[in-house]
Structure 1
Amino acid sequence: MQFFKTVCVGLAAISGAAADHIKFQIRNGELPAHAVNLGGWLVAEHWMTGSSPIWEGVPDDIANQGEYATMKHLGHDVGDARFEQHRQQWITEDDIREIAERGLNTVRVPVGYWIMGEDPTDWPHIEQYKVYAPGALAYLDTLMNEWADKYNVAVILSLHAHKGSQNGRDHSAPTEIGVKNWAKYWENIESSVVWAKFMAARYKDSPAFLGLNLMNEPEYDTDPNVVHGYFERTYKEIRDTGNDCVIAVSPMLTEQGPPTMMDFMRWPAYYNVWHEWHPYFVWGYDDMNEEQLIEAVKEYGRAHIEPWSGNWLFLGEWSMASPGSASFNDDDQFRRFGQTMLDVFRGAHQGWSFWSWRVSGDEDGRNGWSMRQMLRNGWLTL
């Protein structure tokens, strides 16, 4: 019954966008997302984009804090041009064409709150958003309205970097690394609501727009009750505009698994809500060899995916990176590692998204973070 009703809602929402775009099959639950993240593009991460012109002459201890610290160091006179060059080169139309040709049907795109070019909730007039390099929105527009439409690839946005930071990590571009201020100040929460509504409204009728994840990887001591309240409020305000896009919600990073949030925002009070996890097998598996790690993947399926009975599950990030104890020097074993993950992840109704499409230096050696290298070299077969 849930599937039938969701399909009807999704079909009724078709207006302005091409009705045959693959995003409708994915949104309606008829087809899982086989996706890849466009990581490092519109939210730059030094560890994976080290060859980018952004980082030239920037000390590592600054670069590793993310975009805010890097732009504070560079200033707009230097930094704006560097970020412009990076955005032009890191992801191009050729990448989207190859993504489609290799059998992927979706891209997940991390974005930061500053992409709006303004902050209507900046009542203290601190104007932190002005520190970031402007101009990212034009690239997202091109992806959403041109490339992804042309190559029949759906786009799901990940609200990665919230004002105040929900996790203190470099990929949330905090004003101070390690500090999680998002839930502590009302204007930060309001900023996130405004931002999510802005993105959903801007792309509501774009052919390729699948939906958005409302918050990437919140971590303690961010208050989960505040996070959940933000999810519920933002869902309602987006739906009140007649927008039926997918809305993905995430648990706290250390609480990814049943029964956490299994009864949260369920049908029929809510619809087109996905639940997102990020299963990585590189951290917390330090003493495992190759066979043990492959078995750990299978156990993840048994312990996490199979018992899940909440909203449709989407595995928004995963990779073929592994701990040093499981180096996978044998290509056949490495392929088996990837194939085991694909087999296990089929249990997630709404599919998965590999992190990431590319990393710096992936042409020079095997790198489990680069999907394009995994596919080009036959280490992963979809």
Structure 2
Amino acid sequence: MHIGLISILSLVAVVSAWLPSDTDLFGPEPQTNATFSNLSAGKGRVVKKWLPSSGKIRGVNLGSLFVVEPWMASTEWATMGCGSSKSEFDCVMKLGQDAANAAFKAHWARWITETDFDDMASYGLNTVRIPLGYWIDESLVYDSEHFPQGGLAYLDKVVGWAAARNIYVILDLHAAPGAQVAQQPFTGQYAPTTGFYQDYQYDRAYKFLQFITNRIHSNTAYRTVGMLEVLNEPVNGQSSLVNTYYPTAFSKIRETESGLGITDNAKKLHVQFMNKLWGSGDPKSGLKDLSNTAFDNHRYLKWDTSVKVSQAGYIAASCADQVASDGDKPLIVGEWSISPADAVEQSSAFEVKSGSNSGFYTKWWAAQVIAYEKQQGWVFWSWKAQLNGDYRWSYKDAVEKGIIPKDPGQAYNQGVC
């Protein structure tokens, strides 16, 4: 049974789903000498498909909204009553289903509000990536599994806030059935081993993707959702991921669109995959059709042992960074931060309390923006975090503290790269 808002708008004509750079979503003016065509978008709405691209993705993740990660939301986690629970699964078990449902509904209502979207727009951001757990389709949850219920109604609300501000939305299967990574709260369950990479779990993921695809195309609240990522951060060494899951996930999304009468490529979703440089295989090798595909890479230099751990080393590495492999078009860096290696976070060269390193963090942010905008753009992790004033994982805090300018285009005026 799906628990959520049943909108009378679910019967309206299909809206178009696209890359924002294919339209005038980010502004009415195309690049010089660009060509365009008018595309029907339903209910008399027309969008323009610009060729070449007229803008870069500049966005933030809504981390810990629908998949809470206690490390970045400790105060919130305590307020919810989750205590020392390592994941949503554990917290629901601890509280019991009814109490957990109430706790999570309160969390969804306060973690991201409509005011946050006003702030994002005022900070020059045009995109949000929303991490989702498969359990938002409650028909997929087994009796032996424990997850909060009622999230779909809040997802409908959040994407509607984005649409009202012309903010592009990427939806992401962040937490897969059985857990695609062991001992990570971002899978929604602190699983001792990976359980995702087998046929019956793949089948549940396909159903999730079809469910979300149908909702995107049949509910106008989702009118600026143009991309669906089929799996976040898979592990390496799983041949069936590339050979079976990726091509089947792609085909299931297209079959759903076909069943809805969507045959025009301009109205189909972009289907996104972690790229070859992530290290879990090259998704292109298993796909026969690359139309309306997109690619993702996550760049956390704090864990890259090849990077020299110094202010100059981080900036140099970012300026020289190559985040796409051949054929990764379009490529979006879907997660990144300005947090250095764990061992030096509080050292004099990197601490954030005194403000003495503010200039470095502004320049490192700028260097990464410049590198990632050589591709389609970027989505910072995350919009907000509760880390006792440490802005390195929180775009909102970094802007409020003057580390990140309100205009992301100022990255090109920082004298880096």
Same-fold call, TM > 0.5? yes
Partner residue of 1:193? 206
Aligned partner of 2:279 among 255, 261, 267: 255
Contact 1:16-1:207 within 8 A present in 2 as well:
no
Contact 1:213-1:249 within 8 A present in 2 as well:
yes
Partner residue of 1:180? 194
Considering only aligned residues, what root-mean-square deviation do their CA atoms show, in Å?
3.0
Partner residue of 1:370? 394
Cα gap change, 1:55/1:187 in structure 2, threshold over 3 Å: closer, same or farther? Answer: farther
Partner residue of 1:150? 164
Partner residue of 2:229? 213
The structural deviation recorded for 1:82 is: 1.0
Cα gap change, 1:18/1:371 in structure 2, threshold over 3 Å: closer, same or farther? Answer: farther
Measured in 2, the distance between the counterparts of 1:10 and 1:247 equals: 22
Amino acid of the residue matched to residue 203 of structure 2? E
- Between 1:103-112 and 1:78-87, the stretch displaced more is 78-87
Cα gap change, 1:278/1:13 in structure 2, threshold over 3 Å: closer, same or farther? Answer: farther
Pairing 1:18-97 to 2, within 5 Å after superposition: 18-20=45-47, 29-52=53-76, 58-60=82-84, 63-64=85-86, 66-97=87-118
What whole-Å deviation, never above 9, does each CA across 1:87-128 have from its counterpart, x for those lacking one? 000000000111111111110000111101212xx7xxx424
Contact 2:170-2:225 within 8 A present in 1 as well:
yes
Q: Secondary structure at the match of 1:47?
A: helix
Cα gap change, 1:33/1:228 in structure 2, threshold over 3 Å: closer, same or farther? Answer: farther
What whole-Å deviation, never above 9, does each CA across 1:57-100 have from its counterpart, x for those lacking one? 5443xx22x11112112212321111111100000000011111
Amino acid of the residue matched to residue 137 of structure 2? M
Count of residue pairs brought into register by the alignment: 352
**Is 1:161 equivalent to 2:188 in the alignment?**
no
Pairing 1:320-339 to 2, within 5 Å after superposition: 320-323=338-341, 324-325=343-344, 327=350, 329-339=356-366
Contact 2:320-2:371 within 8 A present in 1 as well:
no
Contact 1:261-1:310 within 8 A present in 2 as well:
no
Cα gap change, 1:56/1:133 in structure 2, threshold over 3 Å: closer, same or farther? Answer: closer
What whole-Å deviation, never above 9, does each CA across 1:114-151 have from its counterpart, x for those lacking one? 101212xx7xxx4245x21101100110122x311211
Cα gap change, 1:377/1:59 in structure 2, threshold over 3 Å: closer, same or farther? Answer: closer
Measured in 2, the distance between the counterparts of 1:10 and 1:218 equals: 38
Q: Secondary structure at the match of 1:179?
A: coil
Measured in 2, the distance between the counterparts of 1:137 and 1:25 equals: 33
Measured in 2, the distance between the counterparts of 1:262 and 1:231 equals: 9
Contact 1:218-1:253 within 8 A present in 2 as well:
no
Partner residue of 2:367? 340
Cα gap change, 1:252/1:217 in structure 2, threshold over 3 Å: closer, same or farther? Answer: farther
Measured in 2, the distance between the counterparts of 1:202 and 1:116 equals: 11
Cα gap change, 1:13/1:195 in structure 2, threshold over 3 Å: closer, same or farther? Answer: farther
Cα gap change, 1:9/1:67 in structure 2, threshold over 3 Å: closer, same or farther? Answer: farther
The structural deviation recorded for 1:15 is: 2.9
The structural deviation recorded for 1:320 is: 1.1
**Is 1:356 equivalent to 2:376 in the alignment?**
no
The structural deviation recorded for 1:53 is: 5.1
Partner residue of 2:335? 317
Measured in 2, the distance between the counterparts of 1:335 and 1:177 equals: 37
What whole-Å deviation, never above 9, does each CA across 1:173-201 have from its counterpart, x for those lacking one? 13x523111113x2211000010011011
Partner residue of 1:232? 247
Cα gap change, 1:57/1:38 in structure 2, threshold over 3 Å: closer, same or farther? Answer: closer
Measured in 1, the distance between the counterparts of 2:45 and 2:75 equals: 38
**Is 1:282 equivalent to 2:302 in the alignment?**
yes
What whole-Å deviation, never above 9, does each CA across 1:227-285 have from its counterpart, x for those lacking one? 442221222222232260111011478517xx94465647xx33111111000111134
Amino acid of the residue matched to residue 188 of structure 1? Q
Cα gap change, 1:309/1:220 in structure 2, threshold over 3 Å: closer, same or farther? Answer: closer
Q: Which stretches in structure 1 are left out of the alignment for 5+ residues?
A: none
The structural deviation recorded for 1:203 is: 1.0
Q: Which stretches in structure 2 are left out of the alignment for 5+ residues?
A: 1-18, 24-34, 409-417
Measured in 2, the distance between the counterparts of 1:224 and 1:287 equals: 33
Q: TM-score w.r.t. structure 1 length?
A: 0.83
Cα gap change, 1:218/1:276 in structure 2, threshold over 3 Å: closer, same or farther? Answer: same
Contact 1:265-1:273 within 8 A present in 2 as well:
no
Measured in 2, the distance between the counterparts of 1:85 and 1:253 equals: 38
Cα gap change, 1:352/1:116 in structure 2, threshold over 3 Å: closer, same or farther? Answer: same
Cα gap change, 1:99/1:275 in structure 2, threshold over 3 Å: closer, same or farther? Answer: same
